Amino acid sequence: MNCSTMNPKLFWRDQAVAMTLSRRKTMALHVRENSIEVRAPYRTPIKLAQTFVDDHDQWIERKLSDIRKRKAEKPDLMAASHIPFMGLNVALNIEQGAINRWQLAPEGLNCTLTDKQEQLLPLLGDFYKKQAQFWLNKKTLAVAEGLGFQNRISGIRLRKTKTKWGHCSASGQLQYNWLIMMAPEAVIDYLVAHEVAHLEHLNHSASFWQLVAQIQPGFDRNRRWLSDHGHRLTLT
């Protein structure tokens, strides 16, 4: 879509607001931590755009408040004594050593690090990715086999994405965000159910949600958990 960004004198209270024009038919607001943007059709008058911003004054305030709240809720794993893993609060035991490695043991996750400041988060990322490779493959194949869908899977990939927890392509390629391993196990199972159901319904129709409910009865509470708490599943 062709678009152009302008620098008109638009404001929300004392904060400047950017304006992007395109072939869209309606105006919309996009709010981020440090920016507010109006997206509008070509030839939208500046005065009309300012009125649009003014009419959404309280909505913008709530949106910014929610963004700040979610940011404050993100875990500081550099200072953590425990980490979340499949619904467990696992003790994080760190010692300095000659090589970087982790071991999951009954007493917790034992990490040997050459430099905590530089290596802790990459090592935790490796831990979560390795666990995701095992558990998401195992859970996905078990659900797919139970439905007779195992031959529809062309592959299972892991990626760290900003906006999606999972994806299923028309060719049967399933993709998961490996940070989901920080969630409770029931939430992980919901995500697997969601993506496997897409092997039958590549949409979010009523039939799709019925199949998700067949795989995981009562899935909606886990879906809500991911919507409400997914921003906490991050390595920071």
**Is 184 inside any structural domain?**
yes
141 & 218 share domain: yes
Residue 115: per-residue pLDDT: 96
Which band of pLDDT confidence, cut at 50, 70 and 90, is reported for residue 120?
A: very high
Q: How many CA atoms lie within 13 A of 85 on its CB side?
A: 20
Least confident of 68-82, 150-164, 221-235: 68-82
Give the alpha-carbon dihedral of 88, 89, 95, 98, to 10 degrees: 30
For the chain, what is the domain count? 2
Provide the pLDDT for residue 1. 55
**pTM of structure:** 0.79
CATH number at residue 223: 3.30.2010.10
Is residue 116 included in any domain, yes or no?
no
Q: Could you tell me if residue 22 is inside a domain?
A: yes
Q: Which domain holds residue 63?
A: 3-73
pLDDT bucket at 9, cuts 50 / 70 / 90: confident
The answer to the question of residue 125 being in a domain is yes
User: Are 128 and 228 in the same domain?
Assistant: yes
Indicate if the pLDDT at residue 108 is higher than 60.
Answer: yes
Q: Is residue 208 part of a domain?
A: yes
Asked if pLDDT for residue 152 goes beyond 90, the answer is yes
**Per the domain annotation, does 165 fall within a domain?**
yes
Angle value at C-alpha 61, between 55 and 67, nearest 5 degrees:
135
Q: How confident is the prediction for the chain on average, in pLDDT?
A: 95
Report if residue 107 sits inside a domain: no
